[in-house]
Amino acid sequence: MNSRILAAVLLILLAALPFIAQATGQSALLSLASRILIYGMAATSLNFVLGYGGMVSFGHAAFFGIGGYVVGILYHHADTETLFWGFIPGTTQMLITLPAAILVSGAFAAAIGALSLRTGGVQFIMITLAFAQMLFFLFVSLKTYGGEDGIIVRRTNELPFLNTRDRAVMYWVVLAITVAFALGLRRLTKSSFGTVISGIRQNERRMAALGIPAYRYKLFAFILSGMGAGLAGALMVNVLRFASPDMMHWTKSGELMIMVILGGVGTLVGPFLGAAALLSLESVLASWSEHWPLAMGLILLVVVLGTRGGLMALVTRLTGGRK
């Protein structure tokens, strides 16, 4: 089957999911599907620097959490009718909160990347991890915004002409943003910028010898990746109506990396497959036993070692080598 036809069929099924969930009485499917799409977006953002750029960031949860906290903090000040830093009013308008989350996450990514990218290898991994943990403990200490208990967002951000309090409507919003994000990222990886980033991953010295400023390209890619993770975090807070410092913890970065590896490093669809597999397995296994992490670990080992390239490689082989 042509890949475009397959993608169209999949998109139609995803769009029809609220009706399928209502017909089958499985209302929890919407929440699970929304989380899969959002985590897939965050994992794909990480995959852009990991799979395409060769930058192993172990602190990407920081940008995910920052995006979520932008929504939570703006809601808090809108609800209490106070000003952030004395001059920024709060808001619950999604057309404001999502761009704000993207910009703030990008600013943090620029600051962290500017320092971290001056190193490489294990040092880069540890520095990104250290920055993420610094931000985690910073938000734990902010008692105004709930400290370690986080912020409860009692109302989903509003969109003109749409009732975002309806779970089905919010799911469609998440789906639309995810599709737009995936198409934009696909275009980016196919562009000259994406080609340069891949070339830097393969041989940075050769690219530098050609006169290409590798550091500048890597920093820009890191910023774009952080912005994507921030957008995912902002959407997650709108879906769960809760922002917590745990969104920034190193274990969340580990989960995102597992999704990338499980789905397929250096692929566009792979992280979404990895997110779907990980969250679905977690949901099923947790209902069977309290020792589900052990079973999860064994299953992940079998999949990663057996597929040799993640789930995307398995799908490619099953479809006759077509991507």
What is the per-residue pLDDT across 71-107, written as a single tens digit (0 to 9) for each? 999 999 999 888 898 888 989 999 999 999 999 999 9
User: Structural domain tally of the chain?
Assistant: 1
Q: What is the pLDDT of residue 320?
A: 64
Q: What is the pLDDT of residue 87?
A: 87
For the stretch 284-289, contacts whose Cβ atoms lie closer than 8 Å and that sit 24 or more positions apart, written own/partner, are none
| 136 occurs within a structural domain | yes
Give the domain CATH number at 277: 1.10.3470
- The 10s digit of each residue's pLDDT in 278-299 is 998 888 888 787 778 888 888 8
The pTM of the full predicted model, rounded to 2 decimals, is 0.93
Q: What is the pLDDT of residue 290?
A: 78
| 278 occurs within a structural domain | yes
| 275 occurs within a structural domain | yes
**How far is 190 from 183, CA to CA, in rounded Å?**
11
| 123 occurs within a structural domain | yes
Q: Please, are residues 59 and 225 in contact by the beta-carbon 8 Å criterion?
A: no
Q: Interior CA angle at 282 toward 176 and 46, to 5°?
A: 50
Q: What is the pLDDT of residue 322?
A: 53
Q: What is the pLDDT of residue 4?
A: 74
Q: What is the pLDDT of residue 2?
A: 63
Q: What is the pLDDT of residue 305?
A: 79
AA identity, residue 155: R
Q: What residues does 184 pair with on adjacent strands?
A: none
Q: Which structural domain, as residue segments, surrounds residue 249? A: 2-318
| 301 occurs within a structural domain | yes
| 176 occurs within a structural domain | yes
Which positions of the chain have pLDDT values less than 50?
Answer: none
| 108 occurs within a structural domain | yes
Backbone angles phi, psi at 162, to 5 degrees: -125, 140
| 323 occurs within a structural domain | no
- Which tokens sit at 308? 């040799």
